[in-house]
Homo-oligomer: A and B are copies of this chain.
Amino acid sequence: MLEELKKEVYEANMLLPKYGLVTFTWGNVSGIDREKGLFVIKPSGVDYNKLTPETMVVVDLDGKKVEGEYNPSSDTDTHAVLYNRFPNIGGVVHTHSSWATSWAQAGRDIPCYGTTHADYLYGSVPCVRNLTKEEIDEVYEKNTGILIADEYEKRGMDYVATPAVLCKNHGPFTWGKNAHEAVHNAVVLEEVAKMAARCEMINPQNKPAPQELQDKHYYRKHGANAYYGQNN
């Protein structure tokens, strides 16, 4: 079942080592079939060079395995919550990519310091708080997803416009309209995280980019008046 989606999710997973976003098995990509209400995700703890489309695991929106030889990623429940709460996304990525994880470990939002950031991610990339001991003990991975979605609501943020988040002392999740775009956003986030750290090193009193410049670049690439690329 879902052979086409398995192939797509497999290929998206294989982009993580290609872009240098994972060490060993520290990452996972999923993609969803919204009509069937099922998503496909990387198996847990399996080496990237042993992955094939057939090893991908099919799960439902409660995170329960529907098909597959392997256990799904241990982060499956986080993906499931994100698909439930963010109805317009088609793919989710989790990595421990080095710079984004360093910001997560530092417990800080990534300010929008420039147009590289503004081209893809509207405003700051939020860093959500730690889960409490009770939230961890109850259902850690599920509560991680709930915390992310609640944070977007609390801040009044549009998850489509800012498809990247940091979990404090953990690492980043990104998403997109499909698995490939979610990986694309994971690459962007890592680059943006790197440059934000370095520009604070160069200028410790650094300020975010002016709002009008952020808006210009975001809307140059997104929405009805976009004129970047070939689709306009």
Contacts and interface: CB of A to CB of B under 8 A. Distances in A.
Interface size class of A (residues with CB under 8 A): 35 or more
Nearest to A202: B106
Interface stretch (A5-13, A30-38, A43-51, A84-92): A43-51
A52 interface: no
Contacts of A196: 105
A230 B169 contact: no
13 contacts: A23-B188, A24-B184, A44-B228, A45-B230, A46-B230, A71-B230, A96-B115, A101-B116, A103-B199, A105-B209, A106-B199, A130-B213, A170-B213
Interface of A: 23-24, 26, 43-46, 70-71, 74, 96, 98-99, 101-108, 113-116, 130-131, 133, 136-137, 140, 169-171, 184, 187-188, 191, 194-203, 206-207, 209-210, 212-213, 216, 220, 227-230, 232
